Structure 1
Amino acid sequence: MLDTHGRKYVQPIIKCFAAGFIKVGVSANQVTIMALILGLSVPLSIYLGYSLAGVALLWVSGLLDAVDGTIARSKGSNLFGALMDITFDRIVEIGIMLALAIKYPESNFLFFLLASSIIISMTIFLTVGTLSTKISEKSFYYQAGLAERTEGFIFFSGMILFPQYLNIIITIFILIIIFTAGQRMAEARKILK
C-alpha cells in the first residue's frame, strides 16, 4: 500500500540517487547487486546482535532497490535485471527470517507460517504480473495490495528491534499478507478472463 500510494512523495529523492549513479556510470544491475550485498549484511547484523545497524542496512538496501528500478526505466528496461531484483528481494527476506529464527527458535513455527504466506502472496503477484495484459511502468503488471515491500520493511524492522513482541509482530504480518493475497486473487479474477 505504501509503495503504491507513497512513492510519489519519495520519488524525487530516489531520482536524485539514480541520477548520481547514472552520472558515474553505475548500471541498474550493479545497483541491484549492491542492494543484495547490503541486504545480506542484515541477517549477519541480526545474528551478531547489532539490531540498529541491521535495520539501517535494511532500509539503505531498500532505497537502492527502488533506485535500481528508476535507473532501469530511464536507461531502458532490462528483463534480466527485473528477474535479479525480484529474486534478490526474496533472498534478503529469507536471510532475515532465517537469522531471526536462529536467534529466536521458539518462534520457528510462526516463521514457517510467515514464509508460507509470503510464498502464496508472491505466487499470485508474479503470476498475475506475467499473465496480465495491463500495462505498468515496471517490467510487468504490478498488483497493489495492503502488504507491499515497504510494509515488509516496517514489520521486519519491528521484529529486529522489538524481539520481545516477535510473535505478535509476526502474527499481524502473516494476517496482513494473507489479506493481501486475497486482495490480489480477487483482482486477478476480474482481470484474467
Structure 2
Amino acid sequence: MLDGAVRKRLDPILNRLGAALATRGLGADAITICGLCLGLAAAVLIARHYYLAGAALILLSRLCDGLDGAVARATRKTDFGGFLDIVLDFAFYGAIPLAFIVADPAMNGLAGGLLLFAFYVNGSSFLAFAVIAEKRALSTEIRGAKSLYFTTGLAEATETIAFFLAACLLPAWFPPLAVIFAAVCLYTALSRIVLARLTFRDGQ
C-alpha cells in the first residue's frame, strides 16, 4: 500500500547510486545476492537475541534490494535477474519470522507459524497472478518497470519491513504483531483473488 509513495521518494536516490555502481562494474545479480546474505545474517542475529543489530542488517539488506533494480536499469535488465530477485526476496521474507521462532519457540512458535502460512498464501497469490497475467500479455508499471506483473495490496514490501523493524524493536510483542500482520497478508491475498476473478474472466 505504501510502496508507491516510498518509491517516489527513494527511486531518484537509488537510481543515482545504481548508476554510479554500474559505472564501477558492479552487477545487479551480485547486489541481489549480497542483499540475501545480509538478510540471512540479520536472521541469525535475531535468533540469537541481537534484535537491534538484526534490524540494522534488515535495513541494509533492503537497501540492496532497491539498488539491484537501479543497477539493472542503468545497465541491462535480464529475465534471470528478475527471477533471482523475487526468489531471494521470498527467502529473506521467510528467514526473519523463522528467526523469531528460533529465538523463542514457546512464545513465538504459533504466531510465527501463522505468519509464515500467511506469507506462503500471499506469495503464491502474487506469483500465480503474475503467471496468468504474462499468459494474457498484460502489463503494468504501477510499481515501476518490473520483470513480472506486480499486483499491489495492503501488505507490500514497505509494510513488511516496517513490521520486521517493529518486531526487532519490541521483540516481546512479536506474537500479537505477527498475528495482526498475518491477517493483513491474508486479506491482501483474498483481495488479489477477487481481482483475479474480475480480470481473468473467460472470453474477456
TM-score normalised by length of structure 2: 0.89
CA distance in 2 between counterparts of 1:138 and 1:73 reads 10
CA distance in 2 between counterparts of 1:46 and 1:164 reads 12
Please tell me whether the aligned partners of residues 4 and 144 of structure 1 are also in contact (alpha carbons under 8 angstroms).
no
Task: Work out the number of aligned pairs and report it.
Answer: 193
- Residue 32 of structure 1, CA deviation: 0.4
CA distance in 2 between counterparts of 1:190 and 1:73 reads 32
Q: CA RMSD in A?
A: 1.3
Corresponding letter in the other structure for 1:32: T
- Residue 155 of structure 1, CA deviation: 0.7
CA distance in 2 between counterparts of 1:188 and 1:67 reads 31
1:71 aligns to what?
71
CA distance in 2 between counterparts of 1:190 and 1:139 reads 23
2:180 aligns to what?
172
- Could you say what secondary structure the match of 1:139 adopts? coil
- Residue 176 of structure 1, CA deviation: 0.7
- Residue 9 of structure 1, CA deviation: 1.2
Please tell me whether the aligned partners of residues 18 and 74 of structure 2 are also in contact (alpha carbons under 8 angstroms).
no
- Residue 164 of structure 1, CA deviation: 1.7
Question: Normalized per residue, which structure has more helix?
Answer: 1
Q: What are the ranges of 5 or more consecutive residues in structure 1 without an aligned counterpart?
A: none
- Residue 108 of structure 1, CA deviation: 0.8
- Could you say what secondary structure the match of 1:92 adopts? helix
Once the two structures are superposed, what CA deviation does each residue of 1:4-57 show, in whole Å capped at 9, x if it has no partner? 332111111111221121011111111101111111110111123322111111
- Residue 180 of structure 1, CA deviation: 0.7
1:134 aligns to what?
138
CA distance in 1 between counterparts of 2:126 and 2:118 reads 12
Moved over 3 A (4+): none
1:108 aligns to 2:109 (yes or no): yes
1:40 aligns to what?
40
Percent identity between matched residues is 33
Please tell me whether the aligned partners of residues 38 and 57 of structure 2 are also in contact (alpha carbons under 8 angstroms).
yes
1:118 aligns to what?
119
CA distance in 2 between counterparts of 1:51 and 1:114 reads 19
